[in-house]
Amino acid sequence: MSKRLFVVANWKMNPDSLGGATKLFSDLAVTARTARGVRVVACPPMIWLSECKRVYRGKMLALGAQDVSSHPTGAHTGEISAPMLASLGVGYVIVGHSERRAKGETLEEISAKIKQVVQTGLTAILCIGEHARDDHGEYLHVLRAQIVSALSGVTGPQLSQLIVAYEPIWAIGKTAADAMKPELMHETSLYIRKIISEKYGFDQSRLVPVLYGGSVEGSNAETLLSQGEIDGFLVGHASLSPLSFGAILKCAQASIKSRS
């Protein structure tokens, strides 16, 4: 567990107007000001990125993207490259979200995207997670395969540009009661770090923040942070309301104090 904490807002395909997006971004930036020491990142839909950047130039809320092309340039209609995101001032890119994997994104594409992001100097937020938990530990193989493949092109020094967001698919988009229990998260976090350390060594693996995502709300954030062996959250629906997002940030801020 590192002392740095991250709370990342994944807006998905919301809100549906430019005015709504810039208002939400500005409101989250105000909320983020109360969470000193927590790295807060908002990932609006691609089309709203530049206006969000324009309306808020402060440092308390960083800008992230929800996806990126696996190519640096060329004939790829409709795609947005990592250098384009970098030139806009985007610092973080979510890669391999389960909703993109469900649309056919392959392990190879995810690995190529991660490479693009880190080679461009941005930070990749690699999402991993199983569909279901079974009694035979098959889900552990799923997680291992997702991590090993995604990191195949990442060098040791580039690990400082990587965040892993563990998001069990069965816990996404529900309520706090359906989220993962902290003790299970603790085990899973150790397992994720073990896989990373097999390739890069123990010391390097400790540099990689491990986040949890899947129905994080103000009511479960505190126990997940204190018992889940995690370095923060990837937040979906609760990031669309400054009030609910603020409740999560409050827990993160309290947790920073107890870690130092």
Distance CA 212, CA 58 (A): 26
Q: How far is the CB of 254 from ligand PGA (least distance, A)?
A: 20
Q: How far is the CB of 128 from ligand PGA (least distance, A)?
A: 12
Q: Which of 49, 68, 234, 252 binds ligand PGA (CB under 6 A)?
A: 234
141 is catalytic: no
76 is catalytic: no
3-state secondary structure of 248: helix
Residues of span 175-214 touching ligand PGA by CB under 6 A: 213-214
Question: Residues 211-230 vs ligand PGA: string with x where CB under 6 A?
Answer: --xxxx--------------
Structural contact between residues 20 and 44, judged by C-beta atoms closer than 8 angstroms: no
Q: Which of 167, 217, 229, 237 is catalytic?
A: 167
Sign of the dihedral through C-alpha 35, 39, 43, 48: positive
Residue 247 is classified by DSSP as H
3-state secondary structure of 75: coil
Please, which residues bridge with residue 8 across strands? Answer: 41, 234
- Which lies closer to ligand PGA via its Cβ, residue 130 or residue 167? 167
Residue nearest to ligand PGA (CB): 236
Structural contact between residues 98 and 172, judged by C-beta atoms closer than 8 angstroms: yes
Nearest by Cα to 230 from 200, 191, 178: 191
Distance CA 85, CA 69 (A): 10
66 counts as binding ligand PGA under rule CB under 6 A: no
- Which lies closer to ligand PGA via its Cβ, residue 158 or residue 215? 215
236 counts as binding ligand PGA under rule CB under 6 A: yes
Query: Catalytic site residues?
Result: 97, 167
Residue ranges that bind ligand PGA, judged by CB under 6 A: 10, 167, 172-173, 213-216, 234-238
